[in-house]
């Protein structure tokens, strides 16, 4: 099948984004690849976002689906259910795409037809308009298969994710009710059953400091912490269900990630939170750690912090990409670093 004949379904969950949705949609319609549909799921918005869309766009490729407020996970799943395309591209209502995004990613689906998850680098724009790159160190300009569990956080972002709809529907998709890490969990569940392809170019843009943004609301949302715990418990369960055991690379990542979380509790003087989180983990999550893990914590949180630092040094010897690493911008064209 020629690329031009492949329909891409762009799924946008919409909740009170009247102030940003026009700019987001403008970047979709500016794509060099035009064979797409846009499925907008209005998740019980209380603003006039839908009316603004209707006032600014008259294009039959837009379909608006309305539902009572059920959360971002349910809205994205509804969008996938309504999608007609072979591939689904997720986009939040306050993020943006470079004009070459869909064309570049579609080329990768053609090169790697057996893959089901396609991820892309991007830019991060803060409230002051300043931008920084969001690309995995060592993968600048790279296009090809990756091992996602080296560090999912540096590879993944919702608005830089395209999935094979058939394969995505074989997973639990986005778990309704989750408001944090729901995107990580959905991507990683898919990565357990298919190859993952990454494009190390900044072709997407996360726009921060936006009014009503989910990341801001989560700071005071008690369900955010519940979602984080569900993520850890569920991804281990997913791995066991798919592979019969816990994927080794996933186990390495989770230990690093959880220990880093525990270290932040110690540094903030909230070491008691470690015991609460540990007790909330499933036995299968606890099983990826050595049996003496919590014994060290019980002896002394300070000693446990030292132990965590040692394990982090060992992890870094793998050479996996980490958050906030400086990338080699010489491998990326200047016009992609400041659009």
In order of their start, the domains of the chain are 3-217+332-336 (3.90.550.10), 220-316 (no CATH)
- pTM comes to 0.95
Q: How far is CA 229 from CA 118, 150, 235, in A?
A: 26, 20, 10
Q: Could you give the percent of the chain with pLDDT greater than 70? A: 96
pLDDT at 288 over 50: yes
pLDDT score of 1: 47
Q: Please tell me the distance from the alpha carbon of residue 203 to that of residue 225, in angstroms, as a whole number.
A: 31
**Confidence check: pLDDT of 2 > 70:** no
Cβ neighbours of residue 51 under 8 Å, at least 6 residues apart?
none
User: pLDDT for 26-55, tens place per residue?
Assistant: 999 999 999 999 999 999 999 999 999 999
Give the SS3 label for residue 196: strand
Distance CA 74, CA 87 (A): 19
pLDDT of residue 34: 98
CB count, 10 Å around CB of 229? 16
* Contact call for residues 157 and 123 (beta carbons, < 8 A): no
Quote the longest CA-to-CA distance of the chain: 66
3-state secondary structure of 141: coil
Say how many CA atoms lie within 13 Å of 309 toward its Cβ. 8
Instruction: Determine what percent of the chain is predicted with pLDDT higher than 90.
Output: 91
pLDDT digits (tens, 9 = 90+) for 231-263: 999 999 999 999 999 999 999 999 999 999 999
Q: What pLDDT was estimated at residue 222?
A: 79
Give the separation between CA 170 and CA 297, rounded to whole angstroms.
40
Alpha-carbon distance values, 198 to 92, 186, 215, 222, 270 (Å)? 20, 16, 24, 33, 37
Res 279: pLDDT: 97
What pLDDT does residue 3 have? 64
Does the pLDDT value for residue 301 go beyond 60?
yes
Determine which of 141-145, 185-189, 215-219 has the lowest per-residue pLDDT on average: 215-219
CB of 80 closer than 8 Å to CB of 72 = no
Structure tokens belonging to residue 40: 């907008």
Structure letter (DSSP) for residue 326:
P
| Mean pLDDT, range 211-220, rounded to an integer | 62
Q: Strand, coil or helix: what is 159?
A: helix
* 3-state SS class at 209: coil
287, pLDDT greater than 60 = yes
87 and 115 in contact (C-beta within 8 Å)? Answer: no
| Residue 228 confidence (pLDDT) | 95
Average pLDDT of 124-136? 90
pLDDT at 108 over 90: yes
Q: Kindly write down the DSSP assignment for every residue of 281-293, as one continuous string.
A: S-HHHHTTS-TTH
pLDDT score at 248:
94
Tokens at residue 135, please? 């690309």
Return the minimum-mean-pLDDT range out of 150-164, 206-220, 286-300.
206-220
Confidence at 218, pLDDT banded by 50, 70, 90: low
Are 206 and 91 contacting, i.e. CB atoms less than 8 angstroms apart? no
Task: Tell me what the pLDDT averaged over the chain comes to.
Answer: 95
């Amino acid at each position: 099948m020629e690329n031009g004949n492949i329909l891409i379904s762009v799924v946008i969950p919409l909740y009170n984004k009247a102030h940003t949705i026009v700019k987001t949609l403008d970047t979709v319609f500016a794509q060099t690849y035009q064979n797409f549909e846009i499925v907008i799921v209005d998740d019980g918005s209380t603003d006039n976002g839908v009316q603004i869309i209707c006032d600014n766009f008259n294009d039959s490729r837009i379909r608006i689906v309305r539902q009572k407020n059920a959360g971002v996970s349910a809205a994205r799943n509804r969008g996938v259910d309504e999608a007609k395309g072979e591939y689904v591209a997720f986009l939040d209502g306050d993020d943006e795409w470079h004009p070459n995004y869909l064309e570049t990613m579609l080329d990768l689906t053609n090169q790697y037809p057996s893959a089901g998850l396609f991820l892309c680098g991007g830019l991060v724009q803060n409230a002051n308009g300043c931008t920084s790159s969001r690309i995995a160190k060592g993968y600048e300009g790279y296009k090809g298969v990756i091992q996602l569990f080296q560090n999912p956080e540096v590879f993944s972002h919702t608005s830089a994710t395209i999935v094979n709809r058939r394969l995505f529907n074989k997973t639990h998709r986005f778990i309704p009710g989750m408001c944090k890490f729901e995107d990580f969990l959905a991507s990683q569940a898919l990565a357990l059953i298919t190859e993952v392809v990454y494009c190390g170019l900044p072709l997407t843009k996360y726009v921060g400091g936006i009014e009503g943004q989910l990341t801001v609301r989560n700071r005071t949302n008690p369900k955010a912490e519940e979602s984080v715990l569900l993520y850890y418990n569920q991804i281990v369960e997913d791995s066991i269900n798919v592979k019969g055991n816990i994927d080794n690379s996933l186990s390495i990542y989770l230990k690093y990630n959880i220990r880093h979380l525990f270290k932040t509790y110690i540094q903030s003087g909230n070491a008691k939170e470690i015991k609460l989180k540990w007790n909330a983990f499933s036995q299968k999550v606890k099983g990826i750690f050595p049996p003496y893990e919590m014994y060290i914590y019980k002896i002394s949180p300070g000693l446990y912090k030292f132990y965590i630092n040692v394990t982090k040094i060992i992890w870094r010897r793998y050479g996996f990409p980490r958050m906030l690493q400086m990338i080699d911008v010489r491998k990326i064209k200047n016009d992609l670093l400041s659009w």
